[in-house]
Amino acid sequence: MATKRKLTEDVTVEGGELDTSNHAHIIPLGAGSEVGRSCIIFKYQDKTVMFDCGIHPAFKGMDSLPLLDTIDIDTVDVALITHFHLDHCAAVPYLLRKTRFKGRIFMTHPTKAIYYSLLRDLAKGAKHSSDEALFNEDDLDASMERIEVVDFYQTIEVAGMQITPYRAGHVIGAAMFLVEVAGLRCLYTGDYSRLPDRHLPAADIPPVTPHIVIVESTYGTSRHLPRQQREQLLLDTIRTTLNRGGRVLMPVVALGRAQELLLLLDEFWEAHKGELGGIPIYQASSMMSKALGVYQTYVESLNDDIKRVFHDRNPFKFRHVQTLKSPAHFISDYSGPCVIMATPSGLQSGASRDFFEAWCEDARNTCIICDFAVQGTLAKEILGGPTSITTREGRRVPLRMSVHNISFSAHADFEQTSTFLDTVRPPHVVLVHGEYNEMRKLAKALKDGAKAAGVAREVYTPVLEQTVAIQHTPDRSVRLQGRLGEKPPREGAVVRGVLVRQAGGFSQQLLHPDDLPAYTKLLKGRVTQRQALSVGVPFSVIRLALEVMFEGVEGAGTLPVTSVAGAAGKGGEVLAVVVGDTVTVRYVPADDAAGVDSHVVLEWEGGRQGDMVADAVIAVVLQTAGEPPAAASAESAMLAARAAGDEAAASAAELHLIAALLRSQYGPAAVDEARGVINLTVDGAAAVVDHREGKVLCGEAGLRGRIEKSLDRLAAAIRPVAVDRPQR
């Protein structure tokens, strides 16, 4: 009796296996109802994509990894990494070196550059930590060899899928990826922001409508304060703290928001030098300093405002910001007011934790959480208003410093997400990278908004390892255009043409090659291939060898040497034959004065058939050229004997010539001149050519037939050789 099994969030099937042929599957291996270790699997039509592969900032070692064992990792065709933040990319070396992943992996140019610097610092830090290391520097270096780069708006094809990155606006180089499989379009936003800031443009709106959008839900239904209001609130909070002699700690991610905030503070300090000029701003991260070179290199990824500033000066060479090289000495030696940016943003370790524990008991000081605080981190804990915290040594100490949450996080809030989805209008939305309750509040708000607007929209909120299955009929249609479309094909008929994919309009067209200029920007052309081969035998020997191998070897007479690229010959002409109406073989004699050896030039029209015939011709010519003494001397002897009327000598020389030509095609060929036979050995099988009796003796009928055909082709060129073929 069939039983119902709940296999996915939205599909119930009876008994047996789930039919995947018409369903796209989305499986969070990380970032499913959580923020951290982003890793989303998208499967459709036997194609598998991994979006991001990061670690969880609140966990350590293997516990921080995505749940990679949930799937057959060797079935993943491609991994697409949206940006360089650790929760999106830091598991990549582990993926590439310590799993069975065999697919390709792509990032944008800035992402790859910063990925290496960030993860190198992480690998170095792991050497001096008791925590379990996920990878080392060798693993990181090896990963760089496999990572491929892609530009924004560049469509690449991988395993039959079309993949296009668009700007995500989150950090420099951050990308949204649009993947199309069999007509199904899936957009993965990664972390994105639709609001431009001081240095980055807003996220793009893709030019096509996706069927599925996998979108971050970090801020749920929360709304960011307007940018100017946030900036003023931050500056007022800092100024108030400094005026009372306090110190300001701003835990940040090394790249992204740090540069945005440093631009703001440097500009404010420059405008208020009289008041603030003596108060230092420090960045306590070497990675922040390294970022300067990256921002200069990839300035074209920044927004128009910052590009204009670059014409006058590099805005990332800050006038009022210093790099703090020794946080420990600074904590013990400095007691005046200051502003310090330190990593990590979650206060779970590193310099930011050192400063926090040193300053948290002083009520004059302030900690400003500027980024999203992940559940399980100290940053999230102190936003709850505790009166004390536990240090890393396990001591309980009072929390007297002020704690403010002024978000400059470049994640989309509710307003951005709802407006973005209303614009791209996907029928299916999958929420990821959000905490459980916030995701569900956002899902309800998006559903209510779509219902009020009369828009069909399904919203899914999967937890870790939960599969969302979305039904979609694959598009395998193609439009016949031009002369192919003038007469509808019969049912079951084969239609041949050029398959063209274009953005917009019909996704696929089948065209006659001559119609390409009328319907596309493509032009039909022909490629003429030429190859020269040095030979040390007369052309007559080469022609004989070709006639042994091929039917349809026709003489082309003599042609002017000007028709042969780089050819030089005596008398201004060359000998030529045409093989199979496809490959022309021209012979150019040696020219000692010009320093040119004798050679043949092959010429053919590029294409599958021409290339195949040309390869075979080249093989015959090279083999024949490798037997110059036997073939050339035998031919000369045969011609001389015939001219002298010595038939016995001509027959013996003919026997050696035939043996040389058969040797070039079949392999070892021994001449028994006394008996007038040639003994061949072909792949272990023996054959005897009886020249006097005109017979081929061989126990294998197939081989005997091949040799007989070769002798037939030689007959017209040398002299008729009678072949006694047994009855079949």
Q: Roughly how many angstroms between the first and final C-alpha of the chain, as a whole number?
A: 62
Q: How far apart are CA 545 and CA 521, in angstroms?
A: 45
| Residues 6+ away with beta carbon under 8 Å from 608 | none
Q: Measure Cα distances from 233 to 226, 228, 238, 240, 250 in Å.
A: 11, 9, 9, 11, 14
* Nearest residue to 217 via CA among 424, 26, 35: 35
Buried b (16+ CB within 10 A) or exposed e, 507-542: bebbbbeebbeebeeeeeeeeeeeebeebbbbbbbb
Question: How crowded is residue 36: how many other Cβ atoms within 10 Å of its Cβ?
Answer: 23
DSSP per-residue string spanning 4-47: EEE-SSS-EEESS----TTEEEEEEEE-SSSSSS-EEEEEETTE
Query: What values do phi and psi take at 308, rounded to 5?
Result: -65, -40
Helix (H, G, I), strand (E, B) or coil at 481: coil
Determine the number of helices (DSSP H) and then strands (DSSP E) in the chain. Answer: 20, 36
Active site residue 411: yes
Evaluated on CA atoms 568, 572, 575, 578, the torsion sign reads: positive
* Amino acid code (one letter) for 357: E
- Say if residue 329 is exposed, middle or buried (CB neighbours under 10 Å; 0-12, 13-18, 19+): exposed
Query: What values do phi and psi take at 386, rounded to 5?
Result: -70, 160
Evaluated on CA atoms 417, 423, 424, 428, the torsion sign reads: positive
Question: How crowded is residue 597: how many other Cβ atoms within 10 Å of its Cβ?
Answer: 12
- Say if residue 59 is exposed, middle or buried (CB neighbours under 10 Å; 0-12, 13-18, 19+): middle
Name the active-site residue from 83, 320, 411, 433.
411
Which runs of E-coded beta strand occur in 132-207? 147-149, 156-158, 161-167, 175-181, 184-188
Structure tokens at 422: 């209303």
Helix (H, G, I), strand (E, B) or coil at 267: helix
Largest CA distance in the chain: 123
Which runs of E-coded beta strand occur in 347-494? 366-369, 388-390, 396-398, 402-405, 428-432, 458-460, 468-471, 479-480
* Catalytic residue IDs: 411
